[in-house]
A = this chain, B = another copy of it.
Amino acid sequence: MDRKPNNQTTAIWVLLNIAHKRVTQTFEAELKRARLPSAAWYDILWALERAEEGMRQNELERQSLFDQPNLSRTLKRMVDEGLVTQCPAPNDRRGRELRITEEGKALRSQMWKVYGGLMLSEIEDKIPAEHLSGLIDGLASLVPEKDEKLEGKLKTARETAINPPKGSY
């Protein structure tokens, strides 16, 4: 007879789904209420704002949670809105060099007022201090270190933690 998941495993699986849905829905709802784009757009804008000298599209794909086709389309919409520019990449004629526009920076700054506030109200204020590191370590153990696709994202997580946007609060 096979092994079966224990109670704690089940609780984690269920809570991971519930907590994620609850928190992301709150983020999306509040952003929409403020007539702002989704959190995914914020993440793209912020990644590009940190990359002063532009960023290749495939690099952004690695750092983001988008798959390639979805990122392609999302960027197209953002270009249409004047938030991002897509130039041919210098040394690779297949590639695209992405850059945030001034409008993009302005929008990100606007969004940060809501987005940053939600991080405080929905996360920081809700988690008791004694559970902070356990939650971080527990979540991190679910993500494979060697997975290239996610390594960049973890690095980004640390950078974002250490170096929050200037002039946005």
Which A residues fall within an 8 A CB radius of B? 1-24, 65, 116-117, 119-120, 122-124, 126-128, 131-144, 147, 150, 153-154, 156-158, 160-162, 164, 169
Indicate which residue in B3, B13, B116, B127 contacts A12 across the interface (CB closer than 8 Å).
B127
- How near does chain B come to A125, taking the closest CB pair, in angstroms? 9
Closest to A156 in B: B14
What 16 additional pairs, Cβ within 8 angstroms, besides A12-B139, A15-B136, A21-B65?
A3-B169, A4-B116, A10-B157, A10-B161, A13-B123, A14-B154, A14-B156, A15-B140, A16-B20, A18-B139, A19-B140, A23-B142, A123-B142, A131-B134, A134-B137, A135-B138
User: For A5, what are the chain B residues with a Cβ–Cβ distance below 8 Å?
Assistant: 116, 119-120, 123-124, 164
Q: How far, in whole Å, are A160 and B13 apart by their CA atoms in the complex?
A: 11
A138 B132 Cβ-Cβ under 8 A: yes
User: For A22, what are the chain B residues with a Cβ–Cβ distance below 8 Å?
Assistant: 142-144, 147, 150
Assuming the contacts A4-B116, A16-B19, asked whether A164 and B65 have C-beta atoms less than 8 A apart, the reply is no
Tell me how many chains of this kind the complex includes: 2
- How near does chain B come to A68, taking the closest CB pair, in angstroms? 14
Q: How far, in whole Å, are A142 and B123 apart by their CA atoms in the complex?
A: 7
